[in-house]
Structure formats: C-alpha cells, structure tokens
Amino acid sequence: MQRYIHILLISVSFFWGTSFAAAKIGMTELYPLNLVLLRFIIASFIFAVILLRRPDRKIETKDLPAFLILGFMGITSYFYIQFTGLQYTTTINSALIIATSPIIVGIFSVILHVEKINKTMIWGIALAFSGVSLVISGGDLAGLLQAKTIKGDLMLLSNAIVWAGFTLYGKKILIKYSPIVAMAYIHIFGTLLLLPLAVLPGVFAPETLAKQIMELSWSSVIAALYLAIFCSVYAYYIWYSGVEIIGAVRTSVYTYLNPLFASLTGVLILHEKISLMTIFGGCMVMAGVYLTNQFKITKVKSKFTTID
C-alpha cells in the first residue's frame, strides 16, 4: 500500500468530494441526523463484519476513552454539524471550507511538536489555500461574509477544526492498532453515541429514522449506501493509512482536492454554477498539493509520533 498511497489518497478525495452531492440527494427525503445515522449504521455493520475476520481485533480497556473521543469527534459531532450545515450552503462551499483543515493541522502540529514543517511545505499549503479562497469567493473576498450561505459556511468551518483535531489525535491510536481496526471501532463508537440523539423525536430531527425509512426512494437508499461504503469504510481506512505512512500534514493536504471533485459533481449532478475563477483556483490547489508532497516531513519525538 505504501507505494500507491498517494493514488489511494486521491481516490479518497474523490469520494469525499462527491459525498456532499450524495448527502444533498439523501437529504431530499431524510433529515440530516437521520441520514447521518443511516450512513453509519450501515458502515458500522460492515466494519463489525471486518473485525470478526481479523485476529488483531481486540483493543485494550485503557484505550476505550481514546476511541470514544475519536468516535465523537470524527463521527457523532462532525457529520451531524456537516449535514446540517449543508442545508444552508452549497456542495462546493462545503468542500472548500473543510479544505482549510490542513492549515489547522499544520498549526496544531507545530504547537504540539508533532511534526516540523519546512518553508517549501508552508508555501505549498499557502498556495493551495489561496486557490481555495479564490474558488469560494469568486475573487470577491470583501463580499464573502454577506453571502446567503454564511450560516452553513461557519458550521462547516467548525468542522474543519474538528477534523484537524481528529487527524492528529488519531495518530496516538495508530501506534498500537492498524488503520482498519482503529477506524472500525471509531465508527462503531461514534454510531453508538449517535443513537441517543435518534430516540429524541422533535429535538434533533422532527421525525425518527424508523418513520422516515419506510418512505425512502431508491435514490436516497443508494446515496446512503454510497456514503457508508465508499466515503466511510474505504475512505477512512485509506485516510488513516496515509496518516500512518506519510504523516498527518502531508495526508491532510489531500483535503484540498475535495473541492475540485465537489465542484464537478455540483455542476454535473446538482447543476450548480462554476466560473473561470473556480477553475483557476482549482489549478492553484493542485499545484499546492504537488509542491507540498515533494518534500519529506521531519517527525519529532512526542506521544503522538507514529512508527515509520
């Protein structure tokens, strides 16, 4: 896997970029919480089957708090906020804002002495972020805060911060457990933490999943399966493999590719508009990702450091 990790991470960006459109389709019939719950019930079932076939499936009791924290960060809170925010903004904006997480990962990495970032990598991250800014603003940064999508945009920005913490904190788990085992338990615990929300009708969703699921069309079912199988089981496994192999910062930079795929699906499937500024900004994003991954990160010794 190490030899092809960069190609695999690009495929993750494709699935995560297209996940926003899939979520929009699913939420035509499901409330955000119910779509999140359906997605992760399916994903957790698949992960449970995988765990049963693995000899290294056992985890130590002392690590349960870490798995619960990661489950809450990466599943419970993250996707409920994301899917709710999607109701107030576009698929393209959503992917673009979450793409700021590599910058937050880089800042946290330096503060926590996890990884050292050289100047070339800083320029690469800055170039990619500049491209993201052009795409999201259309070249008009001054009018960005007056946009109708600001409520959803701010919710997605909080998700970028959560994702950065999730990526870095997860390195601690990878010291002891393989990516597939770690992601399996994170999904299962995150789903279990979602269940109490689902049994409170009228609080987080006007109707329960049990009531809505009986009226679903095939498009919503396919959207939920796509999110569960490709955007959760496959993508999370590859993502954490990337963190383990090439480090958190270099892995997180691939988040910058999500907006490109989100833009493409937004135009082709949801008929959202794309401008020349978006195309130009997208080229800057790809250049920044390429530049950042040309140089090796120096890891520093800390409780977060993984084994190469």
Q: 308 in a domain, yes or no?
A: no
Nearest to 70 by CA among 240, 250, 230, 300: 240
Evaluate if residue 308 carries a pLDDT over 50: no
- Name the most confidently modeled range: 33-47, 233-247, 294-308: 33-47
186 — pLDDT class (breaks 50, 70, 90): very high
Look up the domain containing 111 and give its range: 2-299
The alpha carbon of 224 is separated from its chain's Cα centroid by a whole number of angstroms, namely 16
* 100: nearest Cα among 252, 261, 205, 220: 252
Q: Is residue 124 part of a domain?
A: yes
Buried b (16+ CB within 10 A) or exposed e, 171-193: bbbbeebbbbbbbbbbbbbbbeb
Q: Which residue has the higher pLDDT, 238 or 139?
A: 238
HSE, side-chain direction, 13 A CA sphere, residue 173:
29
Q: What percent of the chain has pLDDT over 90?
A: 24
Considering only residues 155 and 145, tell me which one the structure prediction assigns the higher pLDDT.
155
Q: What integer is the mean pLDDT of 8-14?
A: 93
Say which range, 130-134, 141-145, 260-264, 281-285, has the weakest mean pLDDT. 141-145
- Both structure tokens of 236: 């999370």
Domain assignment present for 166? yes
Does residue 302 have a pLDDT over 50?
no
pLDDT of residue 295: 54
Structural domain total, the chain? 1
91 within a domain of the structure (yes/no):
yes
pLDDT band, very low/low/confident/very high, at 40 (cuts 50, 70, 90): very high
H or E segment at 115? strand 115-116
CA 286/CA 263 separation, integer angstroms = 14
* The pLDDT of residue 48: 94
H or E stretch covering 299 = strand 298-299
pLDDT at 230: 95
What is the model's pLDDT at position 276? 79
Tell whether 37 is covered by a domain: yes
Say if 66 falls within a structural domain: yes
Q: What is the spatial distance between Cα 125 and Cα 287, in angstroms, rounded to a whole number?
A: 10
Q: Which residues pair with 298 in a beta bridge?
A: 116
**Is the model's pLDDT at 304 over the cut of 50?**
no
CA of 108: how far to CAs of 102, 113, 163, in Å? 10, 8, 12
pLDDT score at 294: 62
Residue 305 in domain: no
Is 257:289 a contact under the CB 8 Å cutoff? Answer: yes
Does position 46 have pLDDT exceeding 90, yes or no? yes
* pLDDT digit string, tens, across residues 65-109: 999 999 999 898 888 888 888 888 877 777 777 777 777 777 777
Amino acid at 117: I
Segment of 183-197, 203-217, 243-257, 262-276 carrying the highest mean pLDDT = 183-197
In a domain, 304, yes or no: no
